[in-house]
A and B are shown apart, each in its own frame.
Chain A
Amino acid sequence: MVRTSVQHAVLAGAVALGLGAALSVDAQAFPEKPVTIIVPFGAGGGTDITTRTLAGPMAEALGTEIVVKNTAGAGGTIGAAETARARPDGYTVGMMPVGPMTTQPHLRRLPYGPDSFDYICLAYSAPSSLVVRKDSPFNSLKDMIDYAKANPGKLNYGIQAVGSIPHVAGLGVKEASGADFQFIPFKGSAPTFKAMLDGTVDMFVAHISFLTKNADQVKSIAMLMDERVATAEDLPTAKDQGFDLNFPIWGGIVAPKGIPAEAKEKLEAACEAGMKSDAFGERMSQLRMPVTYMSGSDFEAFVRSEFARNEGLLAKAGLKKN
Chain B
Amino acid sequence: MTRVSWTTVIGAISLLIAAYLFYHTFDPVYDVSIVTAGRGPVFFPRILLALMLVLSLAVAIEGFRLPHRFFSGRTALIVVSAVALTGLYIAAITSAGFLISTVVYVFALPFLLGYRNVPVIGAVAAIYPLTVWYVFDKVFLIILPSSPWFDSF
Interface residues of A (CB under 8 A from B): 1, 3, 11, 14-15, 18-19, 21-22, 25, 33, 36, 67-69, 183, 185, 317-319, 321
Which residues on A sit within 8 Å (CB–CB) of B131?
Answer: 1, 3, 11
- Roughly how many angstroms separate A317 CA and B34 CA in the complex, as a whole number? 9
C-alpha gap A67/B150 in the complex (Å): 18
Q: Which of B130, B138, B143, B151 contacts A33 (CB 8 A)?
A: B151
What A residues does B36 contact at CB under 8 A? 183, 185
Contact of B152 with A22 in the complex, beta carbons under 8 Å? yes
Does B64 sit within 8 A of A, measured CB to CB? no
A185 nearest in chain B by CB position: B36
A22 touches B143 (CB 8 A): no
In the complex, are the beta carbons of A21 and B152 less than 8 A apart? yes
Q: Decide: A14 and B134 in contact? CB cutoff 8 A.
A: yes
| Min C-beta distance of A94 to chain B, whole Å | 14
- CB-CB under 8 A for A25 and B151, given A11-B130, A321-B32: yes
Kindly identify which residue among B34, B138, B143, B150 contacts A14, using a CB–CB cutoff of 8 Å.
Answer: B138
Give, as a whole number of angstroms, the nearest-CB distance from A114 to chain B.
24
- Among B32, B134, B138, B151, which residue has its beta carbon within 8 angstroms of that of A22? B151
Which residues does chain B contribute within 8 Å of A11, judged by CB atoms? 130-131, 134
**CB <8 Å contact, A36 and B143:** yes
Q: Name the interface size band of chain B.
A: 10 to 19
Contacting residues, chain A, for B151 (C-beta < 8 A): 21-22, 25, 33
* B residues 112-153 touching A (CB-CB < 8 Å): 130-131, 134, 138, 141, 143, 150-153
Q: What are 8 A-B pairs with beta-carbon distances under 8 A?
A: A11-B131, A11-B134, A18-B152, A19-B152, A21-B151, A22-B150, A33-B151, A33-B152
How far does the Cβ of A123 sit from chain B's closest Cβ, in whole Å? 20
Cβ of A22 and Cβ of B153 under 8 Å apart? yes
User: Taking CB as reference atom, which chain B residue is nearest A38?
Assistant: B143
Residues in B whose Cβ lies below 8 Å from that of A36: 143
In Å, the complex CA distance between A306 and B76 comes to 59
- Among B34, B138, B153, the residue within 8 A (CB) of A319 is B34
Residues of chain A within 8 A of B153, CB atoms compared? 18, 22
CB distance from B99 to the nearest CB of A (A): 10
* Interface contact B143-A69, CB-CB below 8 Å: yes
Contact partners of A21 in chain B: CB under 8 A: 151-152
Q: Which of B19-34 contact A (CB under 8 A)?
A: 32, 34
B143 & A67 in contact (Cβ 8 Å cutoff)? yes
Bound form: Cα–Cα A317–B36 in Å: 13
Closest to A65 in B: B141
CA distance in complex: A278, B120 (Å): 54
Q: Which of B25-47 contact A (CB under 8 A)?
A: 32, 34, 36
Provide the bound-state CA to CA distance between A19 and B150, in Å. Answer: 8
Q: Which residues of B contact A183 (CB under 8 A)?
A: 36
Q: Which residues of B contact A15 (CB under 8 A)?
A: 130, 134
Distance between B46 CB and nearest chain A CB, rounded to angstroms: 20
Most buried by B among A18, A36, A67, A185: A18
**Nearest Cβ distance between residue A237 and chain B, in whole angstroms?**
30
**B32 contact set on A, CB distance < 8 A:** 321
Cα of A11 to Cα of B152 in the assembled complex, Å: 15
